[in-house]
Amino acid sequence: MTVSIRPGEPYPLGATWDGQGTNFAVFSEVAEFVEVCLFDDRGREERIRLPEVTAYCHHGYLPGVGPGQRYGFRVHGPWAPAEGLRGNPQKLLLDPYARAIEGEVRWVPAVYGHDQKDPSRANAEDSAPFIPRSVVSAPFFDWGHDRPPRTPLHHTLIYEAHVRGLTQRHPAIPPHQRGTFAALAHPAVIEHLQRLGVTALELLPIQHFIPERDHVARGLTNYWGYNTIGYFAPHAAYASTRRPGDAVREFKEAVRALHAANIEVILDVVYNHTAEGGHLGPSLCFRGLDNAAYYRLAEDRANYVDYTGTGNTLNMRHPHVLQLIMDSLRYWITEMHVDGFRFDLAATLARELHDVDRLSAFFDIVQQDPVISRVKLIAEPWDLGEGGYQVGNFPPLWSEWNGQYRDTLRDFWRGGGGTLSDFGRRFTGSADLYANTGRRPSASINFITAHDGFTLADLVAYDHKHNDANLEGNNDGHNDNRSWNSGAEGPTADQAVGERRARRARAILTTLFLSQGTPMLLGGDELGRTQHGNNNAYCQDNELSWLDWTETSHELLRFVARLSEFRRQHHAFHRRHWFREDEPNGKPVEDLGDIEWFRPDGAPMQPEDWHTAEPPAIAVYLRGAVDPAGASPAEFSDRRFLCLFNAREEPRAFSVPGALAALEWSVVLDSAHPAQLPTALRGSAIDAPGWSVLVLEAP
């Protein structure tokens, strides 16, 4: 396997095959020299010193080395943890730019750069037998006529799902494909998404990740995947075969199939921390390459600043870390054809010295980048550091997971008083959060449930978390769930409780689909999926987390599909622009504003009505024939709607407001009776059942 190495080029970083050989380039400001280590099929290693250094990038070109070659790096540099220096050539390191990764970490002392008994000393054991390999990847793939759907955000319906969880138990998928990228391309999965009207599949992390040592020791794993170690490589375990590079091919095939069905692919990405953990964590990649460049170090330099709760924080103030992230994002867009990103703990990315800064280098670079700035950018707008809750404070290009929408709607549908004013803001797109930054209602990613927390079925069935399966004494997960068990904790044979739960779940989903903004549906909520009260199933790669396709609520599935189609048909519920300010009350129908709020008795809402302590009940009138900018002709002729919300146990009588009573109203949606067909309203009053949403329509 011996070859002669040439100087090569410092860019692009990583392993780049040109058809005749491979260029290797890796950044390290502190390395005295770097070796590229080549491995054959039997695991035998050959070390070759990279001959050139350009602007701290160590590089060399190896003729004859091509796709499928397994490799890693060894960094020869100073070991001085108290100064933030952790060079140790006995540790085989992954390539930060590896396009494919093979193998798993074996949790033995050798994978740690430090001595287990004395962390100030370097560990002299060779880690190579216990560390995954980077793999040279071929860039060529026949995309055919693939085109990004480019669905406008205000027409978007996001479906959040996990690669394994979505497909592992699907009976129509061949067993060897279940839980893999290949399964995402299966017609049964695509047909289900199309039935729901999904326009974007948001995948929990699929960049290569590893489970933490403690989880493995307890017989668990990092199922969600928020423990990334390879920002360019699709997770190897999500391939249906174990051949090097198959994960890359299968992911591309899945994207191509989803695009053909007009479904975008959004990746949940974790650029705030890595899988190497705190100062006592393993040396797998970044720590051994250049610890002080890649991580934010504490004042004592031996420890790490931790805004993420995982032990480390990537150093967004270093230009090579910013370059790594931007190169990664561009790679997934240009080479893997993804359509957007959801940034985990995105507030961390905006921290300069300490505070979250809207003018940070990260936002500046994204704003001017001609590739990244044109895809969907979604922030989880908080982290665990001081001042980390930043809902509403991201720049104009960004949309955000709206945590205030989630909390308000949960409070509303458990009958909490004093929530009407917040409900009005969240239902209309959260203008108080987004309008003053030049953004539109679609900037609000509206969700009630997500991977982190209760499923919808559990939200209406549990008052408290039940996380015993995580083996952490039920101390993990949120305590502020804003849930109500509807009268009994967990499974029950009480039919009244079961009916109450079903009604509340349908009312919650109806509100989600009627609200201005971009709705996000948690995968499985349309099937009635339960995690049996576990609100933090991050370590459960088993039936607790997987969708059960054999025991599904078909009635609920049909209802969600109907809600989605109703929203798609009517522009009034996914407007491009903000509502106009309400006109003075008492004007003729044709002069009413595009939105009006009313009490159940038909009287206009007054300031004091928004702060009632009673369980909420409210009506909203939407005039659809507005907002022509950028709308299709069908959107110009949208109809009038009167939406009635009753978050009480007992039925509530609603009167059609006087100015609207002359119109011919029909009940087109009744969440309490999901199979009911449109019926004409007789008279000017209607009883809304307990825990229900009714939608009335008029020409």
* Closest-CA residue to 484 (of 514, 512, 507, 517): 507
- 344 a catalytic residue: yes
Using an 8 Å Cβ cutoff, are 347 and 327 in contact?
no
List, in sequence order, every residue forming a beta bridge with 376; answer none if it has no partner: 340
Contacts (Cβ under 8 Å, ≥6 apart) of 262: 149, 151, 199
How far is Cα 379 from Cα 390, in angstroms, rounded to an integer?
10
Identified catalytic residue from 102, 276, 380, 635: 380
Using an 8 Å Cβ cutoff, are 209 and 227 in contact?
yes
Tokens of 145: 């006529």
Is there a cis peptide before residue 12, judged by omega within 30 degrees of 0? yes
Tokens 């971009």 belong to: 518
Q: Could you give the count of Cα atoms lying within 13 Å of 408 in the half-sphere of its Cβ?
A: 21
Tokens of 560: 């969600």
Using an 8 Å Cβ cutoff, are 416 and 605 in contact?
no
List, in sequence order, every residue forming a beta bridge with 63; answer none if it has no partner: 21
How far is Cα 666 from Cα 687, in angstroms, rounded to an integer?
14
Identified catalytic residue from 344, 458, 525, 635: 344
DSSP string of 188-220?
Answer: HHHHHHHHHT--EEEES--EEE---HHHHHTT-
Using an 8 Å Cβ cutoff, are 266 and 378 in contact?
yes
Report phi then psi at 88, rounded to 5. Answer: -155, 100
How far is Cα 206 from Cα 216, in angstroms, rounded to an integer?
19
Using an 8 Å Cβ cutoff, are 181 and 239 in contact?
yes
Neighbour tally for 373: CB within 10 Å: 12
Tokens of 188: 């049964």
Over the range 578-616, which residues count as b (16 or more CB within 10 Å of their CB) and which as e? Answer: bbeeeeebeeeeeebbbbbbbbbebebbeeeebebeebb
How far is Cα 567 from Cα 577, in angstroms, rounded to an integer?
16
List, in sequence order, every residue forming a beta bridge with 518; answer none if it has no partner: 445
How far is Cα 308 from Cα 313, in angstroms, rounded to an integer?
7
Tokens 């890649």 belong to: 294
CA dihedral 2, 5, 9, 11 (to 10 degrees): 20
Distances (CA, A) of 446 to 97, 100, 157, 535: 34, 34, 10, 19
Tokens 């990103």 belong to: 341
Query: Which three-class secondary structure string do you get for 564-633?
Result: HHHHHHCHHHCCCCCCCCCCCCCCCHHHCCCEEEECCCCCECCHHHHHCCCCCEEEEEEECCCCCCCCCH
Tokens of 658: 């006087």
Under DSSP, the state recorded for 473 is: T
- 95 a catalytic residue: no
How far is Cα 15 from Cα 39, in angstroms, rounded to an integer?
14
Tokens 């990244």 belong to: 372
How far is Cα 32 from Cα 37, in angstroms, rounded to an integer?
16
Using an 8 Å Cβ cutoff, are 9 and 59 in contact?
yes
How far is Cα 620 from Cα 618, in angstroms, rounded to an integer?
7
Question: Which residues have a catalytic role annotated?
Answer: 344, 380
